[in-house]
Homo-oligomer: A and B are copies of this chain.
Amino acid sequence: MINLRRQLPYKPTERMNVVSYPIRDIVMEAKHEEAKGKKMIYLNIGDPPQYGFKPFNVIAERVKSALDESWKGYAPSEGDEQLRRTVAKIERGSPDDVFIVAGLTEGIDFFFHSFIGFGEKVLLPNPVYPLYLSKAKQFEGDSIFYRHDAEGQIDLVNLERKIEGAKAMVIINPNNPLGAVYTEKNLTEVVKLCADSDVPIFYDGSYDQLIFEGSQVDFRKIARNKVPFIYGSSLSKDFSYPGARIGWVAFHGDRWAEVKNAFFLLCNQRLSVNWEYQKAAAAALVDPSYPAYVADMKMKLMERRNTFVKMARTLQLSFPVPNGAFYAFMKIETPKWKKDLEFVRAALKEGVVFVPGSGFGRQEDGVYFRSTFLPESEIIEEAFEKIRRLL
């Protein structure tokens, strides 16, 4: 008997439908071009070491010394005690409120897994870092999007219309992909709306040390005792060490006991995060040389941003001027381009790699793309020259 079924390739599950990662998908096409000999400028990914930014050196040094100590078994699932205490001090909370995760990526997964139930509304920024979209779908939440104004601040009228009945609101500040930094006034109003509607906040502070102009706002002070929130960050961006795979989340407010227990179970299930790197994170977070390190990084980033903005203004592009992180989210103001993917592919043929705006949520009013300004000024200038004729 011939068994036809055997001839067929296996199919992935239906739930894989919702998993995609547009930022890296476009890279595949770029690598293909590069393999054919074309020189490519990568403005698509937020990976500082690729562009010459050195990770905070305390981390590698402390990993080395930890390797001579005894941190080779499973670490406590919820995180190394010393690191939890260190984070707790920064957060002005208790170590019991802190969980160590394999990059904030894992913390976001745990947040949706444990807190966003089937059919529950989660308020996301639009545009938004793509992982939030795909986690909301994976865990069957109902994504509701709040808008930004032209300066990149949260549009409070729009938020007010949508906040009712939300299970939680996600804030990314500085925002990826906008590069916008929310003002104290804006955040205070947002916190007030959340408090009025009893909506807790997941605050993604991955880039919270990388703010250029104006004094830095501490969200914890704004929100404390007003609304329950979770504050997350990592070594990836503020310390330029994405490969470390170390992040953390801290729960604030007294209503999280059962959700913290759920986080604990999820931590248990994947057993452990690398222990030596946790020791290194504990050292890095309190090292006195960090302020100088981050000041230098910000200075370089500002210079590159300035070049980027100057160049972009020569073309038919509009965008909020980024005041943090290392991204700009650009709207194409010429009618030539009807689909973002078509523009991104055309740019790729010219040797410049961007991410199409649709990867960050549906953009109903126009055609968008995201660019980093991580590379040195000359490369940014070169990139703009290459795409000049497209715009």
- A residues with a Cβ closer than 8 A to B are 3, 5-6, 8-21, 24-25, 45, 47-50, 55, 60, 63-64, 67-68, 70-75, 77, 102-103, 105-106, 109, 113-120, 131, 134, 137, 139-140, 142, 161, 198, 200, 228, 240-245, 255-259, 261-262, 265-266, 268-277, 364
Query: Are the C-beta atoms of B10 and A118 separated by less than 8 Å?
Result: no
Cross-chain pairs A/B with CB under 8 angstroms, 21 sampled: A9-B257, A10-B115, A11-B258, A11-B259, A12-B115, A12-B259, A15-B113, A16-B113, A17-B118, A17-B119, A17-B120, A24-B77, A25-B268, A45-B74, A47-B74, A50-B73, A63-B276, A73-B242, A74-B242, A102-B270, A118-B140
Residue numbers in B under 8 Å from A245 (CB-CB):
102, 272-274
Closest 5 CB pairs of A and B: A12-B262, A18-B119, A49-B73, A14-B14, A21-B268
10 extra interface residue pairs, beta carbon distance < 8 Å, beyond A14-B14, A15-B119, A19-B262: A10-B258, A12-B259, A13-B115, A13-B117, A13-B118, A19-B269, A55-B72, A118-B118, A118-B140, A119-B137
Query: Are the C-beta atoms of B10 and A105 separated by less than 8 Å?
Result: no
Provide the bound-state CA to CA distance between A47 and B272, in Å.
Answer: 12
Of the candidates B19, B70, B118, the one whose C-beta lies within 8 Å of that of A265 is B19
Interface centre among A16, A49, A268 (most CB of B within 10 A): A16
Residue numbers in B under 8 Å from A73 (CB-CB):
47-50, 242-243
A249: shortest Cβ distance to chain B, in Å? 14
Residue numbers in B under 8 Å from A24 (CB-CB):
77, 268
A202: shortest Cβ distance to chain B, in Å? 12
Query: Are the C-beta atoms of B12 and A240 separated by less than 8 Å?
Result: no
Interface centre among A3, A21, A364 (most CB of B within 10 A): A21
Query: Are the C-beta atoms of B256 and A9 separated by less than 8 Å?
Result: yes
Of the candidates B20, B55, B243, B364, the one whose C-beta lies within 8 Å of that of A74 is B243
The chain B residue sitting closest to A11, CB to CB, is B258
Residue numbers in B under 8 Å from A15 (CB-CB):
113, 117-119, 139
Query: Are the C-beta atoms of B257 and A200 separated by less than 8 Å?
Result: no
A224: shortest Cβ distance to chain B, in Å? 16
Of the candidates B8, B77, B137, the one whose C-beta lies within 8 Å of that of A142 is B137
Interface centre among A6, A13, A19 (most CB of B within 10 A): A13
A236: shortest Cβ distance to chain B, in Å? 8
Provide the bound-state CA to CA distance between A24 and B264, in Å.
Answer: 11
Of the candidates B161, B261, B271, the one whose C-beta lies within 8 Å of that of A242 is B271
A16: shortest Cβ distance to chain B, in Å? 5
Query: Are the C-beta atoms of A21 and B119 separated by less than 8 Å?
Result: no
Query: Are the C-beta atoms of A103 and B8 separated by less than 8 Å?
Result: no
Provide the bound-state CA to CA distance between A269 and B135, in Å.
Answer: 10
Query: Are the C-beta atoms of A198 and B5 separated by less than 8 Å?
Result: yes
A214: shortest Cβ distance to chain B, in Å? 29
Query: Are the C-beta atoms of B103 and A198 separated by less than 8 Å?
Result: no
Query: Are the C-beta atoms of B274 and A8 separated by less than 8 Å?
Result: no
Residue numbers in B under 8 Å from A55 (CB-CB):
72
- Asked whether A14 and B72 contact (CB < 8 A) given A243-B272, A274-B277, the answer is no
The chain B residue sitting closest to A130, CB to CB, is B269
Provide the bound-state CA to CA distance between A68 and B55, in Å.
Answer: 12
The chain B residue sitting closest to A253, CB to CB, is B10
Residue numbers in B under 8 Å from A48 (CB-CB):
73
